[in-house]
Every structure is written in C-alpha cells, then in structure tokens.
A and B are shown apart, each in its own frame.
Chain A
C-alpha cells in the first residue's frame, strides 16, 4: 500500500477519535470550560501537558534543527525541558493553591490592579497568537505533503477539527483529546527511531544507540564517525558546535524561563484537584516530554549520518529513489556547480534563498543528469546541496528504507502535535477574552451561561484568525516564535515569582517591571528580526546575545525595575499580603 493510502487511514482513524472525544466531553459551565472543573487526574494532566507543550516545532522541526546545529542544539533540548523544574518548584503548586482560572487572574488579584491585569492579558494574547499561527501552518504543511491536498484545505480541515473539540468541550475536551494526541505523537516519533537506531548501531534504544558503535564493521562509535565526517567536509565537529558560549547560555535561560511563563502551560496546572497533584503532575509532564526530547538528539545524529553517507560524493544517477521524490517538493535539491555529476556537500548555502523550481508550461525542467533544475542564483561556496531542515524527520523513514506505514505514521503524529498545541493556545485566547476582559473588566455581573457563550465565540473567532495566518503566513512566523518566549520570560515570569516569594512586592513595581521588560525585549527582537535583519549578526548584538536569548536580559531588567520602583511605593494592602501568605501552604 502507498504512503498516501496509509496516511489517509491513520489520519482518518485519529481524527475520528478526536471528534468522538469532542462529542463526549461537552462543557456545561465556565469552570468546566476553563479548567475542566479542576478535577483532572495528575497523570492524565501530565500527559495532556506534554501534548500541549510539544508542538509541530518539537515534533517535525526540532530533530532536523539539531542535526544541523550539533552541540548547539542543546539550547532547545535543555531550554524546553529545564523550565519544568522552575514550574514544579516555584510556580505550579502556589498557583494551584491560589485556585483561579488564568494567569492574568493571578497577576490582577495579586497586584490589586486592573492595569496589571490588562498588561497580563495583552501579553497572553500576543504570546498565544504568535504561537498558534505556526501550528496551523504545520497542519497545512503535513496535509499538502502527504495527502496532496492544498495547504488551504489542509488548514480548513485542521480548523474544523480544533473548532469542534475546543469550542464545544473547552478545557475538558482539550484535555482528553490531548491525551489521545500524546499517544499518537509519541508512538509516531518512537517507531522510526527504534528501527533506525537498531539499523545503524544494533541497539534499538535510541538514547543508547547514538552512543554506541556502528554495525558497519568499522568498530567506530557513531558520534566519533559523525565528528570525523564533519571535519572531512569542513564543518565544525558535531559534538562541539559553533555558537558562542554566552549566547548558548542566554538562549537556554530565555527558553527555560519562557517555558515556565507561557500561559497555556501554566493554566494546565489549574486543572488538577490539589496542590500535591500540581507538583507531581509537572513531574509526569516532564517524563512524557523527556521521552521525545531525549530521542530527538539521537534522531538528529542518525539522520545526519545517513544523509552525509548516502548523499555526499554520490553520482546523481545512482541516487536513491527518496532523493528524487523530495527534489520535486523543493525541500531537497542539488545544483551541479563543478559539473562532475556527483553531489558535493560542504559548509555554506548552496543557493541564494529557498529553491524555486524551474518549470516551463508547468513541466519541471530537468538538467543534464535528470535532476530538478532551479531558478535561484548559485552561491560561491562548494556546497551543491540544499536541505530543508524539516525533512530530516519527515524523510527519515524513507532514507532508512522503512516500510510505508511508518512514514504515514509520522504524518499523523505531526498533525497530533500541531493540533494539540493549537487547541491549548486557543483556549488561553478565549479565556483571556471572556474571563479576563469581559467578566473582570467590563461586565462583572455577567451570568455563567453568558460568559460561557462569550468564551465559545472568542474560541471560534480565534480559530478563524489562526486559520487565516495558517493560510497566509506572515513571512516572519518562524522569527516571531523567539518573541513569544522572550516576552513570556521578560513579562510574566518575574511578576509571578515576585508575587509568590516576595510578599512586599507592590503593584507599582510589578507593572513598571512588566512594561519595561516587555518593551525592551520587543524592541530588541523587533529591531533585529523585523526592521533590520541585515544587522542580525553577532558583531551588532549587545554582549553577543542574539534576539533569541535577549528575553533573559529583559527578565533581569524586569526584576531590577520591579524591585527599584517597588521600594518607592507603599506596601501592598493587608489582605493581599494575607493572600500571598495563604498560597504558600497547601492547607491553612
């Protein structure tokens, strides 16, 4: 059976499952819609958090990114897991004890101020919208690549599914679909990894496999072999990387702290019954996440090694079938610069920009050896190979010669990852509007039924906006993800931490800190990513810190400003200090 047929089967089965759960779990009150009544089992919540957290980026792009970054990929591996330690130790239990629905709820009540609440709502909305657009795009991409459906229809189908279970079921529907989606995505991620690990190293456990010896008779460790290949081709050794140490440090901090400050992650810990559950639930979540995150670097090494050994210096007329299929999608292309008919792989870009296939009357124009030709100008490097990072996971099963159903499974997994994250974000957006804005700011006397209706309308509206951005992605979607983390790190995190651990923190300090941290981070990222991308190189960065890592700096500025401004103004009112005291103890 073809990959496409298998994909239809897997996607059909998984989507029916999600719809079934949606119908079963219709929410009937705001408490059910926002936090599933706070009755979710901590293990279930851990699994849902893992699916919520791991997006299309974790599933489809991360291993590919790491395979091109080598050691530097650690910023994502540590950055996107280490934040859970901060969550478990410094945030989740206290926010659970506080026991409301949203992060702006906490900020607004703790800092006894509608301005603080509004700033928090704005941050939550910006962070969630930037994030959700990328997810919808991921849905569209998987559809178009595997099912030959237009990206447009792919996004529409994805929107319809999310609409069903997010708008009907709210947090309750989302939680149980996320559990199903976690199972799908982790199975889809692990199966090819087991196969390839066993193939290359004889050890099916990928976490051990990539530290083992190759089975090709060379008696070499896989990583040593890869380092050697890299050095021969003129790349930096895989295990040492190229980024500066301070940049690695700052990016890792920004991602960790950003993770701990992301509203769609934090809100998941409002759904468990007790403080004790909130603590252990973070632990479960991290276990479920770690399964994928410790496998990803192994896949990165396997696919990198496979790519180099099968492609480099290979005559094009002897290239494996999969290479030719991916060429036509403009994700993997070869330009024969030296005219020897062999693929030369070397550092640097092979072509200017991303590949544009040369066509006349819709027919692909083939070169001397039958390769797909491109319109792009060539660069002066020796490199003749263009590889899109995303195909490292998508093409991995084919490169390793695995059966068709494995490739189809990866497609279903990618969809599960994108949909589960999109749903979590849409919920934050709808809650921010119906609860934090409408109920808390404009119309406090609103009935629960009405509020629920507004929540559903807001969720529906958010799905449409997300879908629009999925179909017409602004060119900067990938770039603005840095903003999401930077903003979360520079705004929420210090305000929440100070709110819990420093009883005398007052509203003036917190608001000033959030605004200054936010503006600073926004300005720095906007300058380098949107306004002047040509200056986005280490020589122009402050202290060698890239826009990805600047959230760390923004967070420090936020802390300093909060404390400095806080000293000038009076202590918070007695009842707020008592509230802070009370969230510190599970009972009392």
Chain B
C-alpha cells in the first residue's frame, strides 16, 4: 500500500461523505423545513408532503444514507486493501 493509493482512498471517501451529506441536507433542511410550505400543497394519502418529510420521511432517509455509506466504504476498504483483518474469536 503506497501513499499515493491512500490519498486516493481518502479522496474517494471525502467525495462519498460530501454527496451523502448533501442528500441529508436537502431532505431534512430542504424538503422538511425550507421547502415545506411549498411541498405542503402536494398531498399523498393523508399526508401533506412537507409535513411528512419533516416528521417521517427525513428519518427514513437518514437510515438509508448510513447503510449506503457502510456499503460503499466496505467495498472501498477492500478495493484499496485497507480492510481490517478478521480477529479470532
């Protein structure tokens, strides 16, 4: 593992984090707060959309974002050979 590769690993990691944090921001602060009054004009079932994002949707998205990050990083760790060695029991 040379330094150049590690730098690339870190750069990709930062890129993942930035993309996922942007989604995090758009969904919670965007849909749930700033755009909520506008989105409330759309109703799906009994939910006004802005209200739904603020009290339900954003939380589901948070969970999904973490698992996407876990998946991406586990793959990235293996690709760059920085994954941890399995310890004995």
Known: A279-B73, A283-B66, A586-B83. 19 other contacts (CB 8 A): A71-B54, A71-B55, A77-B58, A78-B58, A82-B24, A82-B28, A82-B62, A85-B62, A86-B21, A88-B66, A89-B21, A223-B51, A252-B33, A273-B87, A276-B73, A279-B74, A287-B63, A294-B59, A584-B10
Cβ–Cβ contact B83 & A276, under 8 A: yes
Cβ–Cβ contact B46 & A224, under 8 A: yes
Contact-size category for A: 35 or more
- In the complex with contacts A212-B45, A249-B34, A276-B77, A77-B21 CB distance below 8 A: no
Which residues in B have their C-beta under 8 angstroms from that of A115? Answer: none
Complex Cα distance A501/B14, Å?
A: 9
**Which of A82, A84, A584 has the largest number of chain B CB atoms within 10 A?**
A82
**Chain B's nearest CB lies how many Å from the CB of A290?**
5
* A262-319 CB contacts (< 8 Å) to partner B: 273-276, 279-280, 282-283, 286-287, 290, 293-294, 297
Cβ–Cβ contact A85 & B24, under 8 A: yes
Query: Is A464's CB within 8 Å of the partner chain B?
Result: no
12 contacts between A and B (CB under 8 A): A71-B51, A74-B54, A77-B59, A85-B65, A86-B21, A207-B56, A223-B46, A240-B37, A249-B34, A276-B74, A290-B60, A586-B77
Which residues in A have their C-beta under 8 angstroms from that of B21? Answer: 85-86, 89
**Chain A's nearest CB lies how many Å from the CB of B80?**
8
Cβ–Cβ contact A239 & B63, under 8 A: no
Interface residues of B (CB under 8 A from A): 1, 6, 9-10, 13-14, 17, 20-21, 24, 28-29, 32-34, 36-37, 40, 44-48, 51-52, 54-56, 58-60, 62-63, 65-67, 69-70, 73-74, 77, 82-85, 87
Residue from A84, A253, A585 within 8 A of B6 (CB atoms): A585
Cβ–Cβ contact A586 & B82, under 8 A: yes
Scoring A residues 242 to 256 as 1 if CB is less than 8 Å from chain B, else 0, what string do you get?
Answer: 000100110011000
Complex Cα distance A312/B77, Å?
A: 60
Cβ–Cβ contact B47 & A211, under 8 A: yes
Cβ–Cβ contact A74 & B60, under 8 A: no
Cβ–Cβ contact A252 & B29, under 8 A: yes
Query: Is A354's CB within 8 Å of the partner chain B?
Result: no
Query: Is A8's CB within 8 Å of the partner chain B?
Result: no
Cβ–Cβ contact A212 & B46, under 8 A: yes
Cβ–Cβ contact A88 & B70, under 8 A: yes
Which residues in A have their C-beta under 8 angstroms from that of B9? Answer: 585
Which residues in A have their C-beta under 8 angstroms from that of B1? Answer: 588
Complex Cα distance A81/B9, Å?
A: 28
